[in-house]
C-alpha cells in the first residue's frame, strides 16, 4: 500500500524572484510562479500573466514567506501536475500580534492553503499544517494565526476563533449625524498621498488594539490602491484623513461609491463602500464617520470591517440607522506555547486558576497554574489532582486575548468548571483593556 510520501514530494522553499529577468519588472522564479498559479486556481482567481505573477512574487518575497508545495511524483502527461504545479499549497510568515497593553509578540501566520479537488482526502492539508506548527513551536513562536475561507476546517488542528468581525450598513438619511462633535478636522486627500502617512497611522492603531495583526505587503496594495488585474490603482478610490487638534494625522479612510441603479450620480441610490478605515484615536474614528455620512448623493454607507463593540451605534442620533448585515469569524488563534502566550499578555485582575488543556497535537497539552498579580501573570505546569477548569487548545485560542467570554463558552460546553467560581474568576482576569479587534487579512 503506497503512502503519502510514496505518491507526493513535499517541498518548502522561500519565495523568490528570477535574478535573470532584466527588463526592470519583477519576475517570479519558476518554483514561485508555479506555486502562485496553483494557489490562484485554488481560490478561483483568473490565470495570471508573467507581470501579475511577478507582482505577486514581489509581495511574497517582501513578506519573507515560506512556501510549501505538494508535487505529484508520477504526473500524467498533459496534466497541470506535469507542468510543475503543486497539487496543494501552503504558506506561512511571521508578523507581530498585539496582545494588549502595547505588547507585541511574533505570530506564525498561515495562508494560501489549497488542495486540488482531485487530491483531497489524502492527508495533504494535515501534513502541511502539522509540519508548519511543529516548525513554529520549535522556533519558539508562541502562537499561530489564520483567517479561514471555511469555518469548519481548522478547529481540529487546535485553532479557535479569537476575533470576529461584522459588516454594517448605515442609512445616511435616517442616521441624523452624531450626538457629539468629535475633536479635530477631516479633509479629502489623494490615495497616493497616504503612502507615507498610512503606515504610521496603522502602527498607532496596531499598538492600541488587542487582536490587531501587523499588515503585510499585499494588504497595503489592496487598501490604498485597490490594485486592479493589470497592477494599476483603481481610479474610483477616494481618500480622506483626520487630523487632531495639533494638525497631526491620526486617522484615514479609503472608499468608493457604487451605483445600485440609475447610473453614476443618481440621487439617493448609491452606496459608499469603505475599503479601509484606520483610526488611532476615538475622535479620529468618529470624525471619519462624520465625513462619510456627509458625502452627497449617497443613501447608504457600508463598512465590512466593523468592530464587534462598535461605538458608532451609540454615537448616531438614531442608532437604528445602523444595521448589522453580516457577522462571522475573522482571526483564528492556535496557541503553541501556553506559558509564553499567557505570560505575554496583560492581566486585568489578580487571581489564581488552574487550567487543564487538551491538545491532540501535543504542543499545548497539560495542566497549568496561572497566577496573575499587578497586571502580569506567572504560568507554570502544575501537578494537581483536578484542575479548576478543563478546555481544549482551540477554546484557549478563543479565550486567550479576551475576545470571548468564558461564561459564554462554558454555557456552550467548551469550558468545564471543576471548581465553583473558577469561570467567573478567569473572566475577570482575562478582560482586555480595549475590545479585541483586527483589520488585517492574510
pLDDT value of residue 355: 98
Return the closest-CA partner of residue 10 out of 87, 63, 99, 78: 87
- Whether 66 has a pLDDT exceeding 90, the answer reads yes
Give the span between the Cα atoms of 423 and 395, in whole angstroms: 13
pLDDT value of residue 151: 87
Phi, psi of 174 (to 5 degrees): -75, -30
Task: Indicate the burial class of 430 (C-beta count within 10 angstroms; 0-12, 13-18, 19 or more).
Answer: buried
In the CATH scheme, what is the homologous superfamily, with its name and number, of domain 337-430? SCP2 sterol-binding domain (3.30.1050.10)
pLDDT value of residue 316: 98
CB 322, CB 354: distance < 8 Å: no
pLDDT value of residue 80: 87
pLDDT tens digits, 281-325: 999 999 999 999 999 999 999 999 999 999 999 999 999 999 999
Give the span between the Cα atoms of 246 and 21, in whole angstroms: 48
- Whether 4 has a pLDDT exceeding 80, the answer reads yes
Give the span between the Cα atoms of 345 and 401, in whole angstroms: 7
pLDDT value of residue 23: 67
pLDDT confidence band for 218 (50 / 70 / 90) = confident
The dotted CATH code for 4-141 is 3.40.630.30
- Whether 82 has a pLDDT exceeding 90, the answer reads no
pLDDT tens digits, 107-154: 999 999 999 999 999 999 999 999 999 999 999 999 999 999 888 999
- Whether 227 has a pLDDT exceeding 80, the answer reads no
Q: Is the pTM of this model over 0.85?
A: yes
pLDDT mean over 376-394: 96
- Whether 328 has a pLDDT exceeding 90, the answer reads yes
pLDDT confidence band for 420 (50 / 70 / 90) = very high
Specify the residue for cell string 443618481.
266
Residues above pLDDT 70, as percent of the chain: 97
Phi, psi of 10 (to 5 degrees): -105, 120
- The two domains 177-315 and 337-430 share their CATH topology (first three levels equal): no
Phi, psi of 319 (to 5 degrees): -65, -20
pLDDT mean over 164-189: 97
pLDDT tens digits, 231-286: 788 999 999 999 999 999 999 999 999 976 555 555 557 999 999 999 999 999 99
pLDDT value of residue 143: 98
Give the span between the Cα atoms of 37 and 24, in whole angstroms: 22
pLDDT mean over 100-104: 97
pLDDT tens digits, 405-418: 999 999 999 999 99
Check: CATH 3.40.630.30 for 177-315? yes
Specify the residue for cell string 461605538.
311
- Domain assignments of the chain as residue spans, ordered by start: 4-141, 177-315, 337-430
Average pLDDT, the chain: 94
pLDDT value of residue 224: 83
Q: Which cell is 116 given? A: 486540488
pLDDT mean over 370-394: 97
Helix (H, G, I), strand (E, B) or coil at 284: helix
Amino acid at each position: 500500500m503506497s503512502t503519502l510520501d510514496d505518491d507526493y514530494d513535499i517541498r518548502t522553499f522561500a519565495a523568490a524572484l528570477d535574478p535573470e529577468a532584466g527588463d526592470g519588472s519583477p519576475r517570479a522564479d519558476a518554483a514561485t510562479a508555479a506555486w502562485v498559479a496553483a494557489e490562484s486556481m485554488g481560490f478561483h482567481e483568473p490565470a495570471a500573466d508573467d507581470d501579475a505573477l511577478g507582482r505577486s512574487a514581489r509581495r511574497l518575497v517582501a513578506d519573507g514567506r515560506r512556501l510549501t508545495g505538494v508535487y505529484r511524483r508520477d504526473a500524467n502527461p498533459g496534466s497541470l501536475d506535469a507542468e510543475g504545479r503543486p497539487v496543494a499549497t501552503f504558506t506561512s510568515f511571521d508578523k507581530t500580534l498585539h496582545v494588549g497593553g502595547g505588547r507585541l509578540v511574533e505570530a506564525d501566520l498561515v495562508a494560501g492553503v489549497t488542495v486540488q479537488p482531485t487530491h483531497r482526502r489524502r492527508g495533504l492539508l494535515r501534513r502541511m499544517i502539522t509540519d508548519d506548527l511543529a516548525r513554529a513551536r520549535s522556533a519558539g513562536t508562541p502562537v499561530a494565526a489564520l483567517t479561514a475561507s471555511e469555518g469548519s476546517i481548522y478547529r481540529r488542528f487546535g485553532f479557535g476563533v479569537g476575533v470576529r468581525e461584522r459588516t454594517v450598513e448605515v442609512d445616511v438619511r435616517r442616521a441624523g449625524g452624531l450626538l457629539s462633535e468629535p475633536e479635530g478636522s477631516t479633509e479629502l486627500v489623494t490615495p497616493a498621498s497616504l503612502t507615507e502617512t498610512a503606515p504610521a497611522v496603522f502602527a498607532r492603531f496596531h499598538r492600541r488594539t488587542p487582536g490587531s495583526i501587523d499588515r503585510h505587503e499585499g494588504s497595503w496594495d489592496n487598501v490604498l490602491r485597490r490594485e486592479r488585474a493589470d497592477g494599476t490603482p483603481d481610479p474610483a478610490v477616494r481618500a480622506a484623513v483626520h487630523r487632531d487638534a495639533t494638525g497631526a494625522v491620526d486617522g484615514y479612510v479609503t472608499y468608493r461609491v457604487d451605483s445600485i441603479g440609475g447610473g453614476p450620480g443618481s440621487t439617493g441610490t448609491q452606496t459608499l463602500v469603505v475599503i479601509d478605515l484606520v483610526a488611532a484615536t476615538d475622535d479620529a474614528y468618529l470624525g471619519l464617520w462624520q465625513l462619510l455620512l456627509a458625502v452627497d448623493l449617497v443613501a447608504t454607507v457600508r463598512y465590512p470591517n466593523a468592530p464587534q463593540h462598535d461605538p458608532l451605534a451609540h454615537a448616531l442620533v438614531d442608532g437604528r440607522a445602523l444595521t448589522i448585515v453580516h457577522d462571522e469569524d475573522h482571526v483564528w488563534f492556535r496557541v503553541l506555547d501556553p506559558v509564553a502566550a499567557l505570560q505575554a499578555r496583560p492581566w486585568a485582575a489578580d487571581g489564581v486558576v488552574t487550567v487543564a488543556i487538551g491538545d491532540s497535537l501535543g504542543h499545548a497539552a497539560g495542566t497549568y497554574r496561572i497566577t496573575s498579580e499587578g497586571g502580569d501573570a506567572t504560568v507554570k505546569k502544575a501537578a494537581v489532582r483536578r484542575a479548576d477548569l478543563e478546555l481544549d487548545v482551540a477554546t484557549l485560542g478563543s479565550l486567550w486575548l479576551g475576545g470571548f467570554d468564558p461564561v459564554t463558552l462554558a454555557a456552550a460546553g467548551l469550558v468545564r468548571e471543576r471548581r465553583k467560581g473558577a469561570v467567573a474568576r478567569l473572566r475577570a482576569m482575562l478582560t482586555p483593556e480595549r475590545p479585541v479587534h483586527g483589520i488585517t487579512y492574510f
